[in-house]
Chains A and B, each alone.
Chain A
Amino acid sequence: MSRFILRYRGRGARPQDVVGKILAIGGAAVLEDSDRMMLVDAPEQELRKALGSEADWIVTPEVKYEVPDTRKKVRKPPSNEK
């Protein structure tokens, strides 16, 4: 199972039947829901298959961004060669 974002790109209100299609996938869960998007936990292949005919939905994996930082960081312990 992986987390995916579903974003509706069609016109008007988003179709309501998509949630049912997702929940019909074994073990799948809708974690968050907003006007145009859902965050779902589901196996990718089954999810894409379930949404196969839903052309107005983007499916993209959830990814994470770090807080940008310009501080210098140590990557290795000091060597003994000095």
Chain B
Amino acid sequence: MKTWHKQAESSSRVSQAVRSMVHVADVAKPQRVILLPGRAMRATASSTRSFLRAMSVGGPSAAVGSVGGVPVKMKVLDSVHEDGAKLVECTAEEVQKLRAVQPGLVIVPEVFFQPAVQIYQVASLVKAAAGSRAALKKVVVKIVSQADGGPVAGAQVVAFTNFAAREGAGGVTSTAGTVSLSLPSSVKSLQRLYVYPENSFWGSLQMKVALAPNMTVKLVPIDLRFKDSVRFFAGAGEMTDGQGVKVAVVDTGIALGHPDLVVSGGECTVPGEKPADFGPLGGDHGSHCAGIIAARGTPPNGIRGIAPAAALFSFRVFPKPTPQKPEPGASNFSIAKAIDRAVAAGCDLLNLSLGGGDPDAATEAAIQDARNAGAVVIAAAGNEDRSPVSFPASFDLCIAVSALGRKGLFPKGSVDEGDVASPFGKDKNNFIAAFSNIGPEIDCTGPGVGVISTVPAKAYAIMSGTSMATPAVVGLSAKLLARDLPLLKATRDAARADGIAKLVLHSAKTLGFKAEFEGQGLPT
């Protein structure tokens, strides 16, 4: 649901990138570029359509036009469709000529996903620091419950000596609730001390902490009656909200035995893993998303999602971690297959709280096929601190969601205080989270700071992210769709999907932010 205005800006950017490429690259060296037919993946203008149809995949470099009688030659490597985007190989000089032959084409360099940037992990950091043992001192941090003083095991402790440079040390607490940090003897204080519990407690953030050999941090237990950002902005659902709507959570899998969650079906689409293993083997993230959409509990013993009557489907795309690959990524094959399977299962709304990197054709094709089959993909904008909207949320046929927060909806001293940032909304307590990506592709916003939801082991945890804002919008969308029976029962085609997207976005109300932060606003 991106507007032409947004696409024009985007096209301008990529064209600029190609112009730069033309200037700096070796003009005689063949390179691969993608020819896009302007506003969409397939041409609408007849001249562009004819031009693209005349380009056949395979074979040697061939003339595709001429400038002043000089032929423009390129080799067509791949094609989305006969009148759709083409991957071609040619010199930068030929690209320049092509711009004159077909000014309506958008020409972008071909790019590839790179492995995640290597960063120091906490464990290796401590090991590295231990190399200069003489200059180090040990600091023991104990994490306890504020309620009863009991130790909190499994909490991740991150101690920054220089937050801007992300310098520091960290570790995970033992069963005694302690972790030992190695820090240079010269360090007298920490700029920031973060504690991220596994579940059951709010995270903690302390600023300007004086170092002592033994330190204690108290964590606030989660009270399921607490009104967090989801309950404030979206409200706890009535038990009939979302009735008749099927929602797919394409993620780490959903906790099948959680008392607040009912999973109607699903599949694991990770190559080499069992299709029936669509439980939370990939981590906690998917269960948390699922609870925001459709948890069926009642506080104080459970939690209530936005559309409890919606049918949840779990499509696990993140592999089961192994010692060799503790944080395995989800492949675009798994994701595209999950989207296909979710559509085949009759899902109306697909939650994609994942993303990153450059666009890839397989995921785009699956999302487009889902739209053609009447289903809508709602995707997270990403958590890279005001970076551009990540893929696939940036794809035109996704609804892209930024993360909204509100001061006062998390305890004092919680990690969520670090997410408060300008700009503030018309109500000055509202803000778009500091971590949220933004840009012209944002379609709407949803509550995503300090969210209480379900996690495996029948537990509850706080998470923040556009990953949480997305299921909040999915829940709101399910609620809206359930109330529009003609649309819910309509033939499953592109018009139905467009109708659902319009239903959601037309319901949105601005909170007073610029469009690049909130899109149309918060669906209601």
Contacts and interface: CB of A to CB of B under 8 A. Distances in A.
Nearest to A54: B57
Given A60-B360, A63-B113, A67-B285, A37 B336 contact: yes
B327 A63 contact: no
A80 interface: yes
Interface in A56-79: 58-79
Interface in B111-162: 112-113, 115-116, 119-122, 125, 128-129, 135, 156, 158-162
B435 interface: yes
Contact of A74 (B115, B168, B466): B168
B402 interface: no
Contact of B184 (A49, A58, A68, A80): A80
Nearest to A35: B340
A13 interface: no
A77 B186 contact: no
A52 B57 contact: yes
B72 to A, nearest CB: 21
Contact of A67 (B81, B318, B382, B435): B318
A33 B100 CA distance: 42
Contacts of B116: 66
Interface stretch (B43-51, B305-313, B348-356, B487-495): B348-356
A37 B344 CA distance: 14
A69 B156 CA distance: 13
A51 to B, nearest CB: 8
A61 B169 contact: no
Given A32-B271, A71-B194, A78-B184, A65 B383 contact: no
Interface string B330-343: 11110111001000
B158 A73 contact: yes
Given A34-B337, A68-B353, A81-B186, A74 B332 contact: no
B27 to A, nearest CB: 24
A79 B466 contact: no
Interface in B148-203: 156, 158-163, 165-170, 183-184, 186-189, 192, 194, 196
- A9, A32, A60, A80 pick with most chain B CB within 10 angstroms: A60
A12 to B, nearest CB: 14
A53 interface: yes
Contacts of B520: none
B467 A68 contact: yes
Contacts of A73: 119, 121-122, 158, 166
B37 interface: no
Interface in B439-497: 463-467
Interface in B28-65: 56-59
Contacts of B78: 48, 58-59
Contacts of B166: 72-76
B291 interface: no
A79 B361 contact: no
B66 to A, nearest CB: 25
A62 B334 CA distance: 9
B380 interface: yes
Contacts of B369: 36
User: Would you call the interface of chain A mostly helix, strand, loop, or mixed?
Assistant: loop
B17 interface: no
Given A52-B59, A75-B120, A77-B125, A64 B330 contact: yes
A61 B167 contact: no
A60 B111 CA distance: 11
A50 to B, nearest CB: 10
A74 B383 contact: no
B507 to A, nearest CB: 26
B57 A77 contact: no
A69 B161 CA distance: 21
Interface in B213-271: 252, 271
A65 B356 contact: yes
Contacts of B125: 74, 76-77
B331 A78 contact: no
Contacts of A53: 57-58
24 contacts: A5-B362, A7-B365, A32-B271, A37-B337, A39-B331, A49-B58, A53-B57, A55-B79, A55-B81, A58-B362, A61-B113, A65-B355, A66-B116, A68-B380, A68-B382, A69-B383, A69-B465, A71-B196, A74-B169, A76-B120, A77-B169, A78-B161, A82-B161, A82-B189
Interface of B: 56-59, 77-82, 112-113, 115-116, 119-122, 125, 128-129, 135, 156, 158-163, 165-170, 183-184, 186-189, 192, 194, 196, 252, 271, 282-283, 285, 318, 327-333, 335-337, 340, 353-357, 360-362, 365-366, 369, 380, 382-383, 418-419, 435, 463-467
Given A59-B78, A78-B167, 5 more contacts: A55-B56, A55-B79, A64-B113, A71-B194, A73-B119
Interface of A: 3, 5, 7, 9, 31-32, 34-37, 39, 48-49, 52-55, 58-82
Which 5 residue pairs across A and B have the least CB separation, nearest first? Answer: A64-B329, A52-B58, A63-B113, A75-B166, A78-B161
